Amino acid sequence: MALHAEVEALLRDVTERAILPRFRNLAEGEVEDKGGNDPVTVADKQSEEMLAEGLAQIMPGLAIVGEEAAHADPQVLEGLKSDCWIIDPIDGTRNFAAGKPPFGILLAMASGGEAHTGWIYDCLSGRLCVAHKGKGAFVNGERITALRTGETPPVAAISLLFMDEAKRAAMTDHIAPHYRLVDVPYCAAEQYPRLALGTNDVSIFERTLAWDHAAGALWLNEAGGKAARPDGSAYRVDQWERKGLIGAASPALWDDMAERLSALP
């Protein structure tokens, strides 16, 4: 498919020219804090500019919703209600700025509030995860089916970063004892592959911004896992203020976690 070939070429070009040259090579003043311990680097900004320019050439006329553009002008988010591209120019900026993996590029196309095509690109390894709604999930061109770890208890990566104190306590007291907890990678471009490739069984996300989750939720669902809101409703890119998302390697694992969450005091 020509679209996928063009997008893949763009992802690799942006990585080579805008991202990797600055990995472990950021000068003083090239990292800023957007607030709330949310860093942005000159590489994020250049990557988004290059991606937006390239995507506009690949498919003209679509709204382009980039993380950094939306931070500068929240009105950009209105594009999520239309046919659009959704860009996270460096997912895992916290790691990138610290000079360590993982980090990647997340890209999705959406229509009617739902993502229908997504790309997850690991900038260091070159791993490319691709999904198109109804067509399956792929890693480096090979179709995959989500794998559970097979461990008992299941392996869970629970992001507490954006939860309030009461919710963190509830997770620790009532959810954590039923799982083997592992560290979160602070990078959705790594967390979603872990849920389908036999590394993690289930994950909880509190903040659910479109650029972090549009591609990953689609890809995990297409792989035969499940990503959905805790009440079972589908993830939508135009509900950017809504909190809570469960991702799991299988629908059964998702059901178990959702049931536990519903019973929280």
Predicted confidence (pLDDT) per residue in 139-168, tens digit: 999 999 999 999 999 999 998 888 999 999
| Residues of each annotated binding site | 67, 88, 90-91, 212
**For residue 230, what pLDDT is reported?**
97
**For residue 1, what pLDDT is reported?**
73
**For residue 75, what pLDDT is reported?**
97
Mean pLDDT of 192-212: 97
State the pTM of this model.
0.96
**For residue 131, what pLDDT is reported?**
98
- Under DSSP, the state recorded for 75 is G
**For residue 172, what pLDDT is reported?**
92
Confidence band for 34, pLDDT divided at 50, 70 and 90? confident
Using a pLDDT cut of 90, give the percent of the chain over it. Answer: 92
Mean pLDDT of 80-94: 97
Burial of 119 (0-12, 13-18, 19+ CB in 10 A): buried
- Is 37 a residue whose pLDDT tops 80? no
For 113-133, write each residue's pLDDT tens digit: 999 999 999 999 999 999 999
β-bridge pairing 226-228 and 142-144: unpaired
Confidence band for 38, pLDDT divided at 50, 70 and 90? confident
For 232-264, write each residue's pLDDT tens digit: 999 999 998 899 999 999 999 999 999 999 999
Neighbours of 57 (CB within 10 A): 10
Domains of the chain: 2-143 (3.30.540.10), 155-262 (3.40.190.80)
Give dist(CA 50, CA 29) in Å, integer: 21
| Residues of each annotated binding site for Mg(2+) | 67, 88, 90-91, 212
